Chain A
Amino acid sequence: MQAIEVSHLVKKFGPLTAVNDISFSVGVGETFGFLGPNGAGKTTTIRILTGISRPTSGTATIFGHDITRDTIAARQSMGIVSETSNVYVDMTAWQNMMFSAELYHVGRRERERKATELLSLFGLYDRRHSIARGFSKGMMRRLTLAMGLVNSPRLLFLDEPTSGLDVQSNLIIREVITDLIREEVTIFLTTHNIEEANVMCDRVAIIDKGYVAAIDAPERLKKTIQSVQSIEFSFDRSSPTQMDELRQIPMVNELRKEGDKFKLYTENPSAVIDGVMAYAHARNVRVISITTLGPSLEDVFIKLTGLQRSGGGVHAID
């Protein structure tokens, strides 16, 4: 039995098809990344998988329970951590934990034990009687995650768990997620942080415009676009015309400046290295470092979703 089994799922909102005939499965204990640009259909899919929204057609099962027909049993085994830190800000951290546990019918002794354990794990136990309104963004996020785990779920939906957090909260949350993975909790991770998905996920699905563009292990996905390679250079000094000059080097398909480094994309790394060394010699600048890189998961994501890079970031093609 799979933790999640999705078959030919379609969701339409009037003339708009938000999810278009997607099928995939997530094994028990697997960490599954669900990536896609804004408006790709990620949230709609999660709303269907958590039983909030009803599919137009197709089926989805959670540990064998049909999410449409057997919603309550399906939800009983899942924890949900939404993108927004949706805690009750007028209640204390402890009250928030108790309320979440009561919704899942967790017995009194068990919910108090679990709340104590989780609040301690997330570094919030000393603040358990504080009203959540006074919590920082990181503390709110940690409390949200603690609330999502209070029913000891076998499947956890994590929507942007570490987005925009301070270092401490980020570290705590990643550590807890790593522990959950070790305990074979199935994790369905949605994130914009592609490197996070690359490091944490057994497999990732890339969804775009309602379709699943690819599903595979991160390393296997990268192999599908081996032609996209890059070389990272840094020089001892820079000049205003450096970007334009480097772009003129033969075989450079794309150029990005990342901090004090230049990343040159090519299908012929050795030709580009020769070109850069010739440029450095001619301009009398010294190359401090050279790193050759294979395609990243972000490269795969960009190639499959048709996004294009803009400066240091990525933007959608209109």
Chain B
Amino acid sequence: MGFTPSINRGGLRERLSRELFAAWAIAKKDVSIYYLKPPVIVSGMLFPLFMFLAFAVGRPGGPSVLIPGLIAVTILFSASSVEPVSIPIERRTKTYDRLLSAPISMNAVVFGESLSGFLYSIGIAFIVLIAGLLIFRPPLVSAIPLVLGMLLTSFCFATMGTLFAAYPTESPGDIVSMLNLVRFPLIFISGIFIPLESIPAIGQIVAFFSPLTYGNDLIEAAFRGETHFTLLVNVAMLCIFILIFQVVANQLYKKFAQ
């Protein structure tokens, strides 16, 4: 017996419309409630700034290296900072049950939650980008990889945040702690502050399994004009990671709802 919710009437188009409508409602709700919560501000804005200052200041490399690095780190932390706070709080206040019992699929819930992290991240990364461009005036070679990199990386890490938030706890701290075990190492193996060519061979292999590697490569390409991987590989890998995170998150939320 399967447990995949379905709609018998209305067809695929109506179903999709319902799911997107509900996902957008969930994202709007998160925007209005959680964006200014202190843990989200600390994790989404202050963390990346201090991480950047700690590791980038004084190192060699001009603005065309530092600005992409700052944008990538900002996206990593900000995109994955909303759901690890919002979902445990909603479990505690039982408002999470509203999402579980609504006439929508778990995929729509996961997508809606990720959407709020994505919008938050894009907003902050955009401010960082504009400030970086105005202050340091790095040469912007191509906007296409920048836009693709920012959008896909933001959505990828927002979905990762939603995935971690599936862990059935009512304490945001539990999830943020687990998330940091993954987020911090990602910075060092993804070619942000240390070029991929310069890290040991084992590190280069591990870097293939980090979505940040591909996101950072795209964002850097916008300023350097060249990619380590191709643009297509970077986009494809980020899409694959998004899909994996979405599918795994969907399964975990269903499992833990039991």
Chain A, residues 92-105, CB within 8 Å of chain B (1/0): the string is 00010001101111
Tell me the minimal C-beta distance from B257 to chain A in angstroms.
Answer: 6
Assess the B32–A84 pair: CB atoms within 8 A.
no
Which of B18, B25, B97, B258 sits near A86, CB closer than 8 Å? B97
Q: How far is the CA of A103 from the CA of B33 in the complex (A)?
A: 17
Which chain A residue has the least Cβ–Cβ distance from B103?
A75
Contact of B198 with A by CB under 8 A:
no
Q: Is B59 an interface residue (CB 8 A)?
A: no
Q: A69-B6, A103-B22, A105-B103 are in contact. Are A84 and B94 (CB under 8 A)?
A: yes
Residues of chain A with a CB closer than 8 A to B22's CB:
102-103, 105
Q: Does A82 contact B (CB under 8 A)?
A: yes
B5 close to A51 (CB less than 8 A): yes
Could you say which of A52, A71, A82, A84 contacts B6, with CB atoms under 8 Å apart? A71
Query: Would you call B103 and A72 a contact (CB within 8 A)?
Result: yes
- Give B18 Cβ to nearest chain A Cβ, in Å: 5
Closest Cβ–Cβ distance, residue B253 to chain A (whole Å): 11
B114 proximal to A (CB < 8 A): no
Instruction: Chain B residues near A52: list those with CB within 8 A.
Output: 97, 100-101, 257
Verify if B137 is at the interface (C-beta below 8 Å from A). no
Among candidates A53, A73, A76, residue contacting B258 with C-beta atoms closer than 8 Å: A53
- Does B97 contact A91, Cβ atoms closer than 8 Å? no
0/1 per residue, A187-201, Cβ < 8 Å to B? 000000000000000
Does B6 lie within 8 Å of A72, measured CB to CB?
yes
For A54, what are the chain B residues with a Cβ–Cβ distance below 8 Å? 3, 258
B220 to chain A, nearest CB (A): 39
Task: Give chain B residues whose Cβ lies under 8 Å from the Cβ of A73.
Answer: 6-9, 103
Instruction: List residues of chain B with CB within 8 A of the CB of A76.
Output: 103
A80 interface hit (Cβ, 8 Å): yes
Known: A102-B22, A105-B22. A70 touches B98 (CB 8 A): no
User: Cα distance A87–B93 when bound, in Å?
Assistant: 8
Chain A hits for B100, CB < 8 A: 52
Are A95 and B1 CB-contacts (below 8 A) given A82-B97, A102-B22, A103-B22? no
Q: For B24, B97, B101, which residue has the most chain A Cβ atoms within 10 angstroms?
A: B101
Query: Which residues of B sit under 8 angstroms from A186, Cβ to Cβ?
Result: none
Q: In this assembly, does B185 line the interface, its C-beta being within 8 Å of a C-beta of chain A? A: no
Shortest B86–chain A CB gap in Å is 11
A75 with B33: CB separation less than 8 A: no
**Contact in complex: B6, A99 (CB < 8 Å):** no
Say if the beta carbon of B105 comes within 8 Å of chain A. Answer: yes
Which chain B residues border A75 with CB–CB below 8 Å?
101-103
Any A CB within 8 A of the CB of B122: no
- Chain A interface secondary structure, helix, strand, loop or mixed? loop
A87 touches B8 (CB 8 A): no
Tell yes or no: B21 within 8 A of A by CB.
yes
Decide if A86 touches B21 in the complex (CB within 8 Å): no
User: Inside 8 A of A65's CB, which chain B residues have their CB?
Assistant: 8
Q: How far is the CB of B255 from chain A (nearest CB, A)?
A: 10
For residue B95, CB closer than 8 A to chain A, the reply is yes
Instruction: Determine if B66 is an interface residue (Cβ-Cβ < 8 Å).
Output: no
- Is B101's CB under 8 angstroms from A50's CB? yes
Alpha-carbon separation in the docked complex, A87 to B96 (Å): 10
Q: Are A86 and B98 in contact (CB under 8 A)?
A: yes
Task: Decide if B101 touches A87 in the complex (CB within 8 Å).
Answer: no
Q: How far is the CB of B195 from chain A (nearest CB, A)?
A: 44
Within the complex, what minimum Cβ distance (angstroms) separates B213 from chain A?
37
Q: Is B2 an interface residue (CB 8 A)?
A: yes
Q: Could you say which residues of chain B place their CB within 8 Å of the CB of A99?
A: 25, 28-29
Please name the residue on chain A nearest to B5 by beta carbon.
A71
| Chain B residues, CB < 8 A from A88 | 29, 33, 93, 95
Tell whether, in the assembled complex, residue B93 and residue A89 are in contact, meaning their CB atoms are under 8 Å apart.
yes
Whether a CB of chain A sits under 8 angstroms from the CB of B156 is: no
CA distance A240 to B102 in the complex (A): 57
Shortest Cβ distance from residue A149 to the other chain B in the assembled complex, whole angstroms = 14
26 residue pairs A–B, Cβ–Cβ below 8 Å: A51-B101, A52-B257, A53-B258, A54-B3, A65-B8, A68-B1, A68-B3, A69-B1, A70-B5, A70-B8, A71-B3, A72-B5, A72-B104, A73-B9, A80-B101, A86-B94, A86-B98, A90-B32, A102-B21, A102-B22, A103-B98, A103-B102, A103-B104, A104-B102, A105-B17, A105-B22
Smallest CB-CB A-B distances: 10 pairs = A102-B25, A71-B5, A75-B103, A86-B94, A103-B102, A84-B94, A76-B103, A90-B33, A72-B5, A72-B103
15 more CB-based (< 8 A) A-B contacts, given A70-B8, A72-B5: A53-B257, A53-B258, A54-B258, A69-B2, A71-B3, A73-B6, A73-B103, A80-B101, A82-B97, A86-B93, A86-B97, A88-B33, A91-B33, A99-B29, A102-B24
